[in-house]
Amino acid sequence: MRFFRLIKIAAIGLRHGLDEIISELEPSGYLLRLSHFVFFWRRLDAPRAVRLRKALEALGPIFVKFGQVLSTRRDLLPTDIADELAKLQDQVPPFPSDVAIAELEKVYGKAVDQVFKSFDEKPVASASVAQVHFAVLPDDTRVAVKILRPGIGSVIENDVALLDTAAILMEKLWSEGKRLKPREVVSEFSKHLANELDLMREAANCSQLRRNFLTSAVLAVPEVHWDYCATSVMVMQRMYGTPISQVDKLRSQGVDIKKLAQAGVEIFFTQVFRDGFFHADMHPGNIFVTSTGQYVALDFGIMGTLTDVDKNYLAQNFLAFFQRDYKRVAQAHVDAGWVPKNTRVDEFEAAIRSVCEPIFDKPLKEIEFGRTLLRLFQTSRQFNVEIQPQLVLLQKTLLNIEGLGRQLDPDLDLWKTAKPFLERWMGAQVGLRGLLKNLEIEAPAWASTLPEIPRLLHRAVAQPRGESIAEDLARLAQEQRRQTRLLLAVLLVLAAGLLAQIYQAFY
């Protein structure tokens, strides 16, 4: 099956002349002339950007998503290709409406007009995995109905299998293979793609993100109508706004574009560091903006999560970067085991400085992202930095955010915008506020443990264990003293916190 899929990929690539697009990058022109000679019978009338976009559409969801990410990187791509790939964000050819209606009737067990007061058969958006139709519920609520593409699961499964095969070969044939952990990266990517095929899971993601930002003035998330949802169908509140890529239209509506770009950075860092739950598919096709400048999030199939350990590690590193404390960054990598323990911290620090120092205090438009990325790769290889698969989605999202920032406000200083937020977040995690927060979390566990000590003491005395009873009694007495000291410490800290708040209120 993988072999036939590989043949199909090669055939589609050749049919759309992707070999010519690649050959054009070779400066001598030899490869391009060779391509013309071998495929002399082929006629390629469409422009290269159109051919590339159509090839990615024909190849399927994984390739479309790759094109979506590339479309945000106008600093890396020629304008014609970037403009054409942008169509992959929400203009993938739709599947027939009668197929969509048949899927709805299969899910609901009744005719569509018995479920919805009205249903628009023409899709308003079509992506690689699903398409969206507008509808009205019986109570006149306007909704968006997302329907999964039929047979999409097997296509994704075959492509993931191919990626896994490529990853195995990379590990075996390339010296850098094991460090880059390609199989783990593919496994992580596969897991999120599988989740995207379950619209009930996407509905749950949407509901969670909405709850996280329910009172937010900068981000709106649609409400899910659970009674109408199923594995292949998701029904949510219809949202209104302008696609974020239409910057001129937003300006004509009076939206402050600079403020909008800054709000986007704030939303990203809030999701990552406050919640550890972030939208990991933030290409322009998934973001609307209201006339008041509020973001509207759409498409929740791919969401990223971070543990508290990951959040704290990342926050420490970001802050160290912002403060240009490269030694702290280097040491954090060693402590986390991301580089070998015998790594010279001073040498690693110098390498990090050489990559990061040239891009500080510069707006996005002046940062040569391609060169910076190349230097990062070289440094990673030099010091055997291990890829962290659990952070792959975060890195992908950062690429989207940085690309989106360039489109909205090329003068945006990403570092200065993000630094105050991270400092506030770190302030809430450490010091008195952080301690009070952790004590509040741990207090219920301590409260349930303390009353158990007398029962445990009685059980130890009642069991005939000879000379070990004295040891058990000593251990229990020590534990009781420890718990008592902990409780007293909690009370003292809470009292100190209360006094500090009273002082701030009156002085």
Residues of the chain with pLDDT under 50: 502-503, 505-507
Contacts (Cβ under 8 Å, ≥6 apart) of 170: 177, 180, 182
Q: Which residues pair with 143 in a beta bridge?
A: 135, 237
Q: Which of the listed residues 89, 116, 140 is the one where a domain comes to its end? A: 89
Overall pTM surpassing 0.85 (yes/no): no
Residues 394 and 447 in one domain: no
For the chain, how far is it from start to end, CA to CA, in angstroms?
A: 74
**CA separation, residue 6 to residues 10, 59, 162, 441 (Å):** 6, 10, 8, 52
Q: Is residue 226 part of a domain?
A: no
Task: Answer left, alpha or beta for residue 431, where phi above 0 means left and psi between -120 and 50 means alpha.
Answer: left
Residues 392 and 448 in one domain: no
Which residues span the domain enclosing 324? 239-429
Is 285 found in the same domain as 182?
no
The pLDDT tens digits of the residues spanning 348-381 come to 889 888 888 887 777 766 766 556 655 665 677 7
234 occurs within a structural domain: no
Model confidence pLDDT, tens digit, residues 84-121: 877 776 667 888 999 999 999 999 999 999 999 999 99
Question: Taking every pair of C-alpha atoms in the chain, what is the biggest distance, in angstroms?
Answer: 95
Same domain for 416 and 454, yes or no, is no
Q: Kindly report the backbone phi and psi dihedral angles of residue 27, in degrees, each rounded to the nearest multiple of 5, phi listed first.
A: -65, -30
Are 392 and 319 members of one domain? yes
Amino acid, res. 417: T
Residue that the structure tokens 């329910």 belong to: 214
Report the alpha-carbon distance of residue 48 to residue 325 in Å, rounded: 45
Does any domain span residue 377?
A: yes
CB 240 within 8 A of CB 288: yes
Q: Scanning the structure block, which residue is given the tokens 């993988």?
A: 2
Beta bridge partners of 295: 219, 289
Is residue 145 domain-resident? Answer: no
Question: If you write DSSP's letter for every residue of 391-430 in order, what string do you get?
Answer: GHHHHHHHHHHHHHHHHH-TT--HHHHHHHHHHHHHHHHS
Same domain, 420 and 449: no
Positive or negative torsion for Cα 15, 19, 20, 21: positive
Residue 169 CA to residue 183 CA, distance in Å, equals 10
Look at residues 259, 290, 299 and name the one whose alpha carbon lies nearest to residue 64: 299
Task: Quote the tokens at residue 184.
Answer: 């783990």
The residue among 89, 107, 122 that closes a domain is 89
The residue among 262, 315, 255, 318 whose CA lies nearest residue 288 is 255
User: Which 8-state DSSP code applies to residue 91?
Assistant: B
Is residue 281 annotated as part of the catalytic site, yes or no?
yes
CA 205 – CA 300 distance, rounded (Å): 6
pLDDT score of 235: 97
| Residues 14, 417: Cα–Cα separation, whole Å | 45
Separation between Cα atoms, residue 281 and residue 287, nearest integer Å: 10
Residue 349, SS3?
A: helix
Amino acid found at 219: L
Boundary residue ending a domain (56, 89, 122): 89
Distance CA 369, CA 359 (A): 9
Distance CA 251, CA 263 (A): 16
pLDDT score, position 170: 67
Domain count across the chain: 4
| Residue 166 counted as domain residue | yes
pLDDT of residue 503: 47
For the chain, helix (H) and strand (E) counts, in that order, are 23, 11
β partners of residue 220: 296
If DSSP states are collapsed to H, E and C, what string results for 163-220? HHHHHHHHHHHCCCHHHHCHHHHHHHHHHHHHHHCCHHHHHHHHHHHHHHCCCCCCEE
Distance, in Å, from the CA atom of 328 to the CA atom of 315, rounded to the nearest integer, reads 12
Q: Tell me whether residue 133 is in a domain.
A: no
d(CA 122, CA 105): 17
Residue 353, φ and ψ in degrees, nearest 5: -60, -40
**Together in a domain, 404 and 451:** no
Whether residues 310 and 254 share a domain: the answer is yes
Whether 322 and 468 share a structural domain: no
Long-range contacts of 499-504 (CB under 8 A, 24+ apart): 500/432
* 343 and 403 both lie in a single domain: yes
Is the Cβ–Cβ distance between 408 and 265 less than 8 Å? no
Do 258 and 366 lie in a common domain? yes
Whether residue 255 is found in the same domain as residue 380: yes
Beta-strand relationship, 219-220 and 295-297? parallel
φ, ψ (nearest 5 deg) of residue 420: -60, -40
Which residue is catalytic, options 19, 90, 159, 281?
A: 281
Report how far apart, in Å, the C-alpha atoms of 430 and of each of 269, 309, 425 are.
18, 14, 9
CA distance 302 to 300: 6
- Cα separation of 424 and 236, whole Å? 34
> What pLDDT score was predicted for residue 498?
52
Does 265 reside within a domain? yes
Q: What integer best gives the mean pLDDT of the chain?
A: 77
Residue 389 falls inside a structural domain: yes
